């Protein structure tokens, strides 16, 4: 489980950015004198410092598919680490769709969609996404990270103001920095601070973008989306909304927090919705849904789209099948959210510290990074995989266990988790 957010400092100062080398900057040629040699010993000392802070990370070598139960180191574990929220990553129906596409169209896309074209599975996926989201069209990226990075960079520039929630995902933060816009960070979910910054910084900007996650991946809480949309109307701003952890899970049709909270406002031209195919939908990739002019602008200006190989046909076919299942099987998300309610109530009864989570991501606040790692290790010894999340993904002193529930879990699984947490915390 990767740590997914990098905390920003909420204040009115600009986020520094480093100008990137453009495709047209052909005058720069590296010379021997401009390239410094970094001795390997410096890497070792950096790694030692990371270990000393309890922040060293390793990649887990799985021996099974994703699911509510996985195999690692020859043992079965109850898995509370995955973003496969609807338990679709290993669903045989997605696998069959991928196999059919691979047999007919191959396993690779060849090049950028602007070079080698869109495969039939990818064309169909974009049509299905637009139909599901009830927008004119959609655009699929190779990852959700690329979608966030590219959308902000395509819509904002040096003459624009971007206002970013302090707890946004790293991909949104990097998109803000690389856009070269004037970026201002507002305190997490604080619409009063956002309003203050819009009033002070907005009038001089060509375009104003409010950038936020819908569900914040480390806290499980919701963005105050209704209030944000009101401010967007008042200040003539666009809202870039990353629905990565809400796609497939929230809303009557599983379209995310915007569907759940906004009603008809979900179709506002001010709202730019970004989703992922890599979490609840069990496949790979990211997408943007919106008007035809928006999508055409992204096709022409979005560098991560223009310069990346298109999504592979098997992934596109699997994602298309998942979109159909999300609509046909609402019981998956209903069961998932029901389990989350049970877990939050049980943790509260036992006095565990948590956050304002209202969804399927349920944190348990531990405190120091070493303590969180030790608690995670004790749970692993008992056959439960619950990742510890540490700085810089969360603020200092708030290291935690991040419990990710899945539709494949049962109430008995939740009770076992609660029991082992109670045994392991001392």
**By C-alpha distance, which of 271, 232, 270 is closest to 255?**
271
Is 20 catalytic? The answer is: no
Catalytic residue among 188, 235, 279, 335: 279
Which one of 169, 180, 193, 245 is the catalytic residue? 245
217 in catalytic set = yes
Which residue out of 82, 217, 376, 393 is catalytically annotated? 217
Radius of gyration of the chain (CA): 22
Task: Output the DSSP codes for 288-342.
Answer: EEE-HHHHHHHHHH-HHHHTSPPPPHHHHHHHHHHHHHHHH-THHHHHHHHHHHH
The answer to whether the CB of 145 falls within 8 A of the CB of 308 is: no
Question: Could you tell me the two tokens for 339?
Answer: 């389990």
Q: Which of 349, 350, 342, 352 is nearest to 411 (CA)?
A: 342
Among 187, 265, 191, which residue's Cα sits nearest to residue 227?
A: 191
Strand pairing class (137-141; 11-14): unpaired
3-state DSSP call for residue 13? strand
Whether the CB-CB separation of 375 and 369 falls below 8 Å is answered with: no
Between the alpha carbon of residue 252 and those of residues 60, 248, 330, the distances in Å are 35, 10, 8
Q: For the purposes of burial, counting CB atoms within 10 Å of the CB of 228, is it exposed (0-12), middle (13-18) or buried (19 or more)?
A: buried
Q: Which of 79, 66, 81 is nearest to 4 (CA)?
A: 81
Give the separation between CA 45 and CA 236, rounded to whole angstroms.
49
**245 is annotated as an active-site residue:** yes
Eight-state DSSP code of residue 206: S
- Catalytic positions, please? 217, 245, 279
């Amino acid at each position: 489980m990767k740590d997914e957010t990098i905390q920003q400092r909420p204040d009115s100062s600009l986020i520094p950015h480093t100008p990137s080398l453009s495709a047209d900057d052909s005058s720069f040629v590296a010379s021997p004198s401009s390239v410094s040699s970094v001795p390997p010993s410096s890497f070792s000392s950096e790694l030692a410092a990371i270990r000393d802070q309890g922040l060293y990370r390793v990649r887990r070598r799985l021996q099974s598919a994703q699911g509510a139960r996985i195999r690692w180191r020859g043992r079965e574990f109850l898995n509370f680490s995955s973003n496969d929220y609807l338990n679709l990553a290993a669903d045989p129906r997605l696998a069959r769709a991928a196999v059919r596409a691979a047999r007919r169209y191959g396993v690779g896309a060849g090049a950028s969609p602007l070079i080698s074209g869109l495969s039939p599975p990818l064309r169909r996926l974009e049509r299905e996404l637009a139909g599901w989201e009830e927008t004119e069209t959609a655009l699929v990226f190779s990852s959700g990270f690329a979608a966030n990075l590219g959308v902000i960079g395509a819509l904002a520039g040096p003459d624009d103001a971007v206002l970013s929630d302090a707890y946004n995902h790293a991909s949104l933060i990097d998109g803000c920095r690389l856009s070269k816009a004037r970026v201002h960070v507002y305190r997490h979910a604080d619409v009063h601070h956002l309003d203050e910054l819009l009033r002070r910084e907005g009038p001089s900007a060509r375009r104003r973008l409010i950038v936020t996650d819908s569900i914040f991946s480390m806290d499980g809480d919701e963005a105050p989306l209704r209030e944000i949309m009101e401010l967007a109307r008042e200040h003539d701003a666009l809202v870039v909304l990353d629905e990565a952890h809400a796609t497939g899970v929230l809303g009557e049709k599983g379209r995310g927090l915007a569907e759940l909270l906004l009603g008809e406002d979900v179709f506002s031209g001010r709202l730019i919705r970004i989703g992922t195919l890599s979490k609840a939908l069990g496949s790979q990739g990211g997408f943007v849904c919106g008007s035809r002019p928006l999508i055409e602008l992204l096709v022409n200006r979005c560098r991560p789209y223009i310069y990346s190989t298109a999504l592979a046909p098997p992934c596109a076919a699997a994602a298309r099948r998942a979109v159909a299942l999300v609509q046909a099987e609402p019981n998956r998300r209903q069961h998932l959210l029901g389990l989350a309610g049970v877990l939050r109530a049980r943790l509260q009864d036992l006095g565990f510290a948590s956050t304002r989570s209202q969804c399927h991501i349920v944190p348990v606040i531990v405190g120091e990074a070493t303590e969180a790692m030790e608690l995670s290790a004790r749970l692993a010894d008992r056959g439960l995989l619950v990742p510890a999340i540490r700085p810089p993904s969360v603020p200092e002193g708030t290291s935690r266990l991040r419990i990710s529930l899945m539709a494949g879990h049962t109430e008995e699984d939740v009770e076992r988790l609660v029991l082992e947490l109670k045994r392991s915390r001392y």
